Structure 1
Amino acid sequence: MPKQVDPAARRDAIADAVVDLAAEHGFAAVTIRAVAARAGASTSVVTHYVADRDDLLRHAVGREVARRVTEAEAATAGKPGAAGVRALVDWAVHAPGERAHRFWLALLVAAPGEPALRAELDRFLTWWDDHLRALVAESGAPDPELAADLVDVVVDGLVTARFEVPGPWPDQRARRVLDTALASVGIG
């Protein structure tokens, strides 16, 4: 009797392999052959679930985008205005973890040259911008446009600071920077 395979579990294993490879080596290292090796499968198994590399990227990155949106929405649920902004930023900087941050940095680097990646990144960034701007508008910031732009820049900087040498910024330092930035644009 042939071995029963759970297609959803197999797709998840393939997507996990994409995320792992991208986080460790960047998207240039994500090939069907490398994904198959990482997932412990053959290339024919991978191509049974995806048509080509673009389909592979769309599926894996789309799944990650959906996960991050769900996590961020849960972190901000029931927290309007300034509390929501703080919860969103705290989630973005601290919650996803190093693997997720490395994956997102790899995505930002690769997206300009990879249309499949660009489309998924744009989907997330549109969601992020809409969600952030709605929370900032509720916060009563005197210049919501400036406040949202500053939060974007601070989040990018704080995520990047987690990879600095000789080591990541401590949470206390990141929170102090965030508090100062938010106060400067009237989000208390």
Structure 2
Amino acid sequence: MPKQVDPAARRAAIGDAVVDIAAEHGFAAVTIRAVARRAGASTSVVTHYVAGRDDLLRQAVRREVDARREHAERVLAGRTGADGLRTLADWAVHAPGERAQRFWLALVMAAPAEPVLRAELDRFTTWWDARVRALVAEAGLADPGLAADLLDVAVDGLITARFEGAAAWSARRSRRVLAAVLAAAGLSR
């Protein structure tokens, strides 16, 4: 009797392999062969589930990005305005974990050269911008555009700073900086 394969589990293993490789080595290292090796499968198994490298990237990145967005929405449930903005910023900087943040940095770095990655990053950015601007509007800030921009720059900068140099930023340090940025935007507690 042939071995029973759970297609959803196989797709998840392939997606996890893409995310792991991208987080560790960047998207240039994501090949069908490398993904097959990481997933413990043959290249023919991988190509059974994807039409090529672009499809492989699209499926894996969409799954990862959608999972992050869904997690953010769960964290934000019932939170509005300034409280929602503080919660969203803290989540973005601290909740995803190192693997997710390394993946995110790899995605941002590779997107200009890979249209499929650019499209998936744009999907997330469209959601993020709409969510941030809605929360800023609820907070009733004097300069909502500036507040949204400050939040974006602070979040991106704090994620990047985590991986700069030999001295990694502690959660305490990044929360302190984030609190100062939020206060400058008129979002202090």
Measured in 1, the distance between the counterparts of 2:168 and 2:140 equals: 32
1:13 counterpart SS class: helix
Measured in 2, the distance between the counterparts of 1:66 and 1:54 equals: 18
Measured in 2, the distance between the counterparts of 1:140 and 1:64 equals: 32
Let me know the Cα RMSD of the aligned residues.
Answer: 0.8
Contact kept in structure 1, 2:101 and 2:159, CA below 8 Å: yes
Query: For 1:139-158, what per-residue CA distance to the aligned partner results, in whole angstroms no more than 9, with x for missing partners?
Result: 12210000000000000011
Contact kept in structure 1, 2:82 and 2:187, CA below 8 Å: yes
Q: Which runs of 5+ in 1 are unaligned?
A: none
Measured in 1, the distance between the counterparts of 2:62 and 2:93 equals: 20
Contact kept in structure 2, 1:142 and 1:185, CA below 8 Å: no
For residues 18-29 of structure 1, what are the structure 2 equivalents within 5 Å? Answer: 18-29=18-29
TM-score (norm 1): 0.98
Contact kept in structure 1, 2:86 and 2:187, CA below 8 Å: no
Measured in 1, the distance between the counterparts of 2:4 and 2:167 equals: 46
Provide runs of 4+ in structure 1 moved above 3 Å. none
Aligned to 1:96: 96
> Between Structure 1 and Structure 2, how many residues are aligned?
188
Measured in 1, the distance between the counterparts of 2:140 and 2:178 equals: 17
Q: State the AA in 2 paired with 1:29.
A: A
Aligned to 1:133: 133
Measured in 1, the distance between the counterparts of 2:178 and 2:70 equals: 23
Aligned to 1:160: 160
Q: State the AA in 1 paired with 2:49.
A: Y
TM-score (norm 2): 0.97
